Structure 1
Amino acid sequence: MHLLNLGILAHVDAGKTSLTERLLHTVGVIDEIGSVDDGSTQTDSLALERQRGITIKSAVVSFAVDDVTVNLIDTPGHPDFIAEVERVLSVLDGAVLVISAVEGVQAQTRVLMRTLQRLRIPTLVFVNKIDRPGAQDERVLRNISARLTEAIVPMGGIDEPGTRDAHFTPFDARSLGPRLLDRLAERDDGLLAAYVDDERAVSYGRLRAALAEQTRRAVVHPVFFGSAVTGAGVPELIAGIKELLPAADSDPDGPVSGTVFKVERGPAGEKIAYARMFSGTVRTRDRLLMRGGEEGKVTAISVFDSGSDVRATEVAAGRIGKLWGLADIRIGDCLGMPRKGTAEHHFSPPTLETVVVPTSPADNGALHLALTQLAEQDPLIDLRHDEVRKEISVSLYGEVQKEVIQATLADEFGVAVTFRETTPLCVERPMGTGTAVEFNGKDPNPFLATVGLRIDPAPTGSGVEFRLEVELGSMPYAFFKAVEDTVREALGQGLNGWQVTGCTVTMTHCGYSPRQSHAHQGFDKSMSSTGADFRGLTPLVVMAALREAGTQVYEPMHRFRLELPADTLGAVLPLLARQRAVPRTTETHGTSCVLEGRVPVARVHELEQQLPALTRGEGELECAFDHYAPVAGGSAPDRPRTDLNPLDRKEYLLNVTRRVGG
């Protein structure tokens, strides 16, 4: 039996969930096809998904095609929930990218295809909605070739497009053979040599084998057409999934290695981890090594089979299982041996932030608990607690995600909330070099520790690197670790309150008071250094060095692509100027015009709102995070601090004293 973990990806409303339903019906898993509009689909199980008709959380369902068992993962299409897609990509063997035959390639389609290609995930393209008025195969193929990739192989054509009778007609060997030969010979020297010697000597069977081989290497992408509503083209797509996509690599007898891509809570509040196993076999009562060397004991397992999950005693390599008993598990955790590249981010992190405010102040505690549970399911929410103001901030991709969080808190936790204005998440970078040092036993240092640090600028995108210019054996390793951990924590809030990035921090001085005790008595920590001394002193040294270096605040910028009627360009350009958008290129194609450029993330939402009125509803805006740019003009925006404020020495020392109890 072969296993295949397959992702269904698309821009929102391309028909991805409807296609999942049709696949399950065609292979006999379900007797009746659910409707997204009616909220009766298999994979959109959340009440909020049924109400809104969109996928918010990834869902797994299984079916068999002859001797191939497919674990199909339905993913969200709305860009606000790209974090769900991020986690699923790491467990896929192949993907089906769904495109509407009417709308063609859309903004999210491009983002997804670029990522699938970068990760080299074998991908089939399914052009859906051929029964809709306006559907055209040749136009969509040109659209795919121009905006996604030229490495496509149409597997057939549409008859009677735009009607209820529209159907997909696969090319026969005579029609498909020359198309395959032209496309595949570009990437197969043996095939090209055979073609040059004698075109007739290249058999159709050899071409089909070469198509499967190149598809599995993700260098070509077969294109199928059909309709999830009528079922046209779906049997051919299923045959293509079986023939062209690779089976899961699996070694059930190897060392245990798996990735957790989803965490949910059961009826009793227990955590349930969805894990793709790459190697080894996990059995009930096994103890698994997790993040940070922690262990957890598996108390129950289920695997996916015939449209649902069923209890099992084990989950082997290649399969996806649900695991109970891992109380400390989090999304992204590796089980057993970590895989190379599992920590990589495929999409940009959230660039927006908002404060969540409970409608009733009495719900503060309940809100904290609810958001903590939501952050377990979506780590990129990234909670930020302000103990001084008793506020909680969350990171966001967009306004729709904010609405979903609000509805989830109300429906699942009974907590009504509002939100403050959404603001961009900026970063700080050091402008120069700064140094600071405080010595043990010398005023005004109240801590039994010596810490000296130098902060230097580093290349963009390098994060924070910690180095030593002192001997590692000059004091206990635990003290060095305390300094490094505290440096990283302190740089979470720079001079203006934003996370500091793009810098190298070097420890230049260190020192401590060795363990001492009074005669006939135990250890006296008032005379001996502890980790708390280094954790307490380091933020003061970090901020002093950062002050000397100086920092610049950078705001997130999106690259945009705007397609609009050419006669509306004159009305749109002033809007772009008001939103600080800078067009870099402008191209005119007949009656349409395409602008590409950069725009501050803070201005994207307003741009999206005003654009339809100026373009007769025909303007198509595509945005994606591009880079951080220095905040232009005026004073740099500040972010309220949530730490003990090491920028104010007196306030900081008072706060530290209170925290340790006087």
Structure 2
Amino acid sequence: MHTLNLGILAHVDAGKTSLTERLLHTAGVIDEIGSVDDGSTQTDSLALERQRGITIKSAVVSFVLDDVTVNLIDTPGHPDFIAEVERVLNVLDGAVLVVSAVEGVQAQTRVLMRTLRRLRIPTLVFVNKIDRRGAREKGVLRALTERLSAPVVPMGRTEGLGTREAHFVARTVPSALDVLADHDDALLSAYVEDAVSHDRLHSALVTQTRKALVHPAYFGSAITGAGVDALICGIRELLPAAGGAPDEPFSATVFKVERGPAGEKVAYVRMFTGMLRIRDRVPFGDGRAEGRVTAISVFDHGKDVRDDVLPAGRIGKLWGLADIRIGDDIGVPRKAYEHFFAPPTLETVVVPGPGVDTGSLHLALTRLAEQDPLIDLRHDEVRQETSVSLYGEVQKEVVQATLADEFALAVTFRETTPLCIERPVGTGAAVEFNKKDPNPFLATVGLRVDPAPVGSGVDFRLEVELGSMPYAFFKAVQDTVRETLGQGLHGWEVTDCTVTMTHSGYSPRQSHAHQGFDKSMSSTGADFRGLTPLVLIEALRRAGTRVHEPMHSFRIEAPADTLGALLPVLAAVRAVPETTETRGTVCILEGVVPAALVHTLEQQLPGPTRGEGELESIFGHYAPVSGGSVPQRPRTDHNPLNRKEYLLNVTRRVGG
């Protein structure tokens, strides 16, 4: 018996949750197949998921296929919940990408396949809904190859397409040999000599699928069960088993955190090596913390059951690790946690309803952010406001409903606004010296800000000797630099820059005879943390910054005769078509649109395109804000832009 940790991924409404139900029923885990529309599925357990008929949180369920224990993770398909998918990708052995035979390749399909291929996760394709009117076979296969840029191996053909009797006939398709031979010279030679046996072909298929070189494609229907047996055979034979030696030191990754009935943290983990046992004391988070495992459960036959041990290759739940966070490694660290998708590009202010305590609201939002690290909270103590970052309007509705259902807190939201960034436009430097007016801090700090290539983030460097003062003071400067860059001259995060420390100095530890440490005459870390924002902001002033807004790349397919009506709509939302192509009766436009106006474009598209327009959009880049006033973001810090106000707040804290 071996284990396979399998992800089910798809664009929203392609049918992945229905496929999960069908797989559980076929494996004998459930007696009746649940319905997404009726809210009776196994993996959509949240009340809101059942009401809306969409998956919001990833869910794990286990079943057995002959000699394979499958831990299946059902993931959200809506792009607003892409963060849930991102975390799951870190723990998969293989995946099934579900595509609708009617709608074909959609926006999220492309995003997911591109990421699966980049991570080299072995992936099968299941083309669902062949029983629906309008279902296609050749057109979808062509789109899989062309629009996904993925080598797809058809594993059979359909019969009765678009009818209730539609079914899938599993057999070797002649084109499969062509695809496999592209990645295997020996197979190509045998192909030319007409000497390829069935076993040789199957062996090449297994090898290339497990290396993520090709992607076997099955057609079927999760509702009728057509093609599901063939898919199960592919899952069992073509996808790799979970590796990991049980006798090695334990190593695991946390991909989900939730709260139990008593408010306790429960961590979902994938064990890669070793074994975890109850009462084990474990380090986690790069050694940041440690805790004792007080309980373990593993997934088995559709349920999670308590156990004393979690072995390598399995997925389980751990209790007792109070400070655990999503992305943490437990035990031996693995590679750094990767973000595969763009961060949220929108934010909104959460407005408490009548009688809602702001403290309770902030605690509840912190709990939500704990379960989703890409939800960034920003609390403004002066205005007593909390902002939350978002991927889209649906996520806003989910946050609102979750606060009402789980925390009994009624909230509304202000208008959604784009999350901009600032980039330096030149070089700027500033320095303040210890014991020289107007510097009230016992510290010397000099900093220079230089622009850096787009996408490089923030780099901190030293032009002073590391031994010129205690390392703790350098660390205080570096940490404060990164914190201060969270709010630039216009209040937005500053990125794509290099900050170099050019001057340093401190007052050594002073003490009087028979007395202890004299704080008034000796530098502390607080002096460097207090002075650094003033110096950095002055350097930024001299460098200058430009505000950039997030832009999405869009692709619209619409009837060719609606192009004239569509162009004014695009202009109204500041969308810029960069390419226009006509294919028969269909026109395809690709270009860029401000992230803040994507939702407006979605709402307005049906009108001019007679309801036939299809929009794909994905974060593309940040572009300088042009025309009109520069967007400002209210500050939540002590405002180093106003020296008097800043010193009034900060020196009181450091005793200056």
Q: Which residue of 2 aligns with 1:388?
A: 382
Question: What whole-Å deviation, never above 9, does each CA across 1:290-324 have from its counterpart, x for those lacking one?
Answer: 12521111111011111111111111111111000
Partner Cα separation in structure 2 for residue 374 and residue 629 of structure 1: 31
Cα separation, 1, equivalents of 2:311 and 2:446: 51
Shift of 1:181: 2.0
Q: Could you say which residue in structure 1 is the equivalent of 2:144?
A: 144
Give the alignment partner of residue 322 of structure 1, picking from 302, 310, 317: 317
TM-score between the two structures when normalised by the length of structure 2:
0.99
User: Which of 212, 227, 234 is equivalent to 2:228?
Assistant: 234
Q: Which range moves more in the overlay, 486-495 or 330-339? A: 330-339
Amino acid at match of 1:331: I
Q: Which moved more, 1:292-301 or 1:4-13?
A: 292-301
Q: Which of 485, 490, 493 is the aligned partner of 2:484?
A: 490
Give the letter aligned to residue 429 of structure 2: T
CA distance in 2, matches of 1:657, 1:392: 26
Q: 1:555 aligns with which of 549, 553, 560?
A: 549
So what's the TM-score if we normalise by structure 1?
0.98
| Superposed displacement of residue 37, structure 1 | 1.0
Residues of 1 paired with 2:154 and 2:521: CA distance?
77
Separation of aligned partners in 1, 2:653 and 2:587: 61
2:176 paired residue number: 180
- 3-state SS in 2 of match to 1:613: coil
Deviates more, 1:50-59 or 1:651-660: 651-660
Amino acid at match of 1:596: E
Match of 2:329 in 1: 334
1:516 equivalent in alignment to 2:529: no
Residue 472 (1) aligns with residue 447 (2): no
Report deviation, 1:127.
Answer: 0.6
* 1:23-44 residue CA offsets vs partner (Å, 9 max, x unmatched): 0000111111111111111100
Q: Which residue identity is paired with 2:569?
A: L
| Superposition map of 1:236-275 within 5 A | 236-275=230-269
For residues 292 and 185 of structure 1, the distance between their equivalents in structure 2, rounded to whole angstroms, comes to 44
CA contact (8 A) 2:151 2:214 kept: yes
Query: 8 Å contact 2:285–2:329 — kept in the other structure?
Result: yes
Q: Contact 2:356 / 2:409 at 8 angstroms: preserved in 1?
A: no
Q: How far apart are residue 658 of structure 1 and its match?
A: 4.1
Q: Deviations over 1:342-372 (max 9, x none)?
A: 4221110000000001012542111011001
2-structure distance, mates of 1:406, 1:435: 45
Aligned residue for 1:526, secondary structure, equals helix
In the TM superposition, residue 194 of structure 1 has moved relative to its aligned partner by 2.1
Q: 2:497 matched to 1:506? A: no
Cα displacement string for residues 429-477 of structure 1 (whole angstroms, at most 9, x for unaligned residues): 1111110111110000000111000111111111110011111111111
Query: 3-state DSSP class of the match of 1:70?
Result: strand
> 1:255 deviation in Å?
2.0
- Give the 5 Å matches for 1:380-459: 380-459=374-453
Deviation per residue, 1:587-641 (Å, 9 max, x gap): 0011110000111111111111111111111000100001101001123111000
State the one-letter code of the partner of 2:441.
F
- Secondary structure in 2 matching 1:282: strand
CA distance in 1, matches of 2:473, 2:249: 35
CA distance in structure 2 between the aligned counterparts of 1:19 and 1:524, rounded to whole angstroms: 70
Q: Deviations over 1:41-93 (max 9, x none)?
A: 11001111111110000000001111111100000000000000010001011
Q: Which residue of 2 aligns with 1:225?
A: 219
Q: Which moved more, 1:392-401 or 1:290-299?
A: 290-299
Contact 2:154 2:176 in 1 (8 A): no
Q: Deviations over 1:245-275 (max 9, x none)?
A: 1111211111221110000011100000000
Larger mean CA deviation between 373-382 and 160-169 belongs to 160-169
In 1, the alpha carbon distance for the partners of 2:209 and 2:363 equals 46
| Residue-by-residue CA offset, 1:377-409 (whole Å, 9 max, x unaligned) | 001111001111110000000000000000000
Aligned to 2:280: 286
Counterpart-to-counterpart distance in 1, 2:478 and 2:550:
27
Instruction: Kindly provide the amino acid, as one letter, of the partner of residue 97 in structure 1.
Output: L
Q: Which residue of 2 aligns with 1:10?
A: 10
Query: Whole-Å Cα distance in 2 between the matches of residues 418 and 292 of structure 1?
Result: 38
Q: C-alpha separation between the residues in 2 aligned to 1:143 and 1:112?
A: 15
Distance (whole Å) between structure 2 residues aligned to residue 510 and residue 150 of structure 1: 54
Instruction: Tell me which amino acid in the other structure corresponds to 1:304.
Output: F
Contact 2:281 2:292 in 1 (8 A): yes
Give the secondary structure class of the aligned counterpart of 2:551: strand
Q: Does 1:311 align with 2:306?
A: yes
**SS in structure 2 of the partner of residue 9 of structure 1:** strand
Q: Give, as a single letter, the amino acid of the residue that structure 2 aligns with 1:185.
A: A
How many Å separate the matches in 2 of 1:312 and 1:636?
Answer: 58
CA distance in 1, matches of 2:567, 2:168: 43
Trace 1:367-386 onto structure 2 (pairs within 5 A). Answer: 367-386=361-380
Asked if structure 1 preserves the Cα contact closer than 8 Å seen for 2:124 and 2:216, the reply is: yes
1:64 aligns with 2:60: no
Q: How does 1:618-637 map to 2 (within 5 A)?
A: 618-637=612-631
Amino acid at match of 1:152: V
Deviates more, 1:488-497 or 1:103-112: 103-112
* Distance (whole Å) between structure 1 residues aligned to residue 394 and residue 587 of structure 2: 28
Structure 1 residue 180 displacement after superposition: 2.8
What is the one-letter code of the residue matched to 2:503? Answer: H
- Structure 1 residues 205 and 496, CA, compared in 2 at 3 Å: closer, same or farther? same
Structure 1: distance between partners of 2:628 and 2:165: 61
Equivalenced residue count is 655
1:122 and 2:118 are equivalent in the alignment: no
Deviation at 1:661, TM superposition (A): 7.0
Listed one character per residue, the Cα deviations across residues 148-190 of structure 1 (whole Å, up to 9, x for unaligned) are 135111111111111111111112xxx53x3332111111011
What residue is the counterpart of 1:597 in the other structure? 591
Kindly report which structure 2 residues correspond to 1:70-219, keeping only aligned pairs within 5 A, or say none: 70-171=70-171, 175-176=172-173, 178-196=174-192, 198-199=193-194, 201-219=195-213
**Structure 1: any 5+ residue segments left out of the alignment?**
none
SS where residue 379 of structure 1 aligns? coil
CA contact (8 A) 2:286 2:328 kept: no
Q: Structure 1: which amino acid aligns with 2:101?
A: A
d(CA) in 2 for partners of 1:165, 1:658: 78
Indicate yes or no: 2:631 matched with 1:642. Answer: no
Please give the alpha-carbon distance, in whole angstroms, between the structure 2 residues aligned to 1:66 and 1:310.
21
| SS in structure 2 of the partner of residue 542 of structure 1 | helix
Q: Aligned with 1:85: secondary structure?
A: helix
The SS at the match of 2:313 is: coil
Q: How many Å separate the matches in 2 of 1:358 and 1:609?
A: 28
Residue identity in the other structure for 1:586: T
Distance 1:245 1:426 in 2: 42
Is the Cα contact below 8 Å between 2:526 and 2:654 reproduced in 1?
Answer: no
- Equivalent position of 2:359 in the other structure: 365
Deviation at 1:277, TM superposition (A): 1.1
Over the matched positions of the two proteins, sequence identity in percent amounts to 78
Give the SS at the match of 2:531.
helix
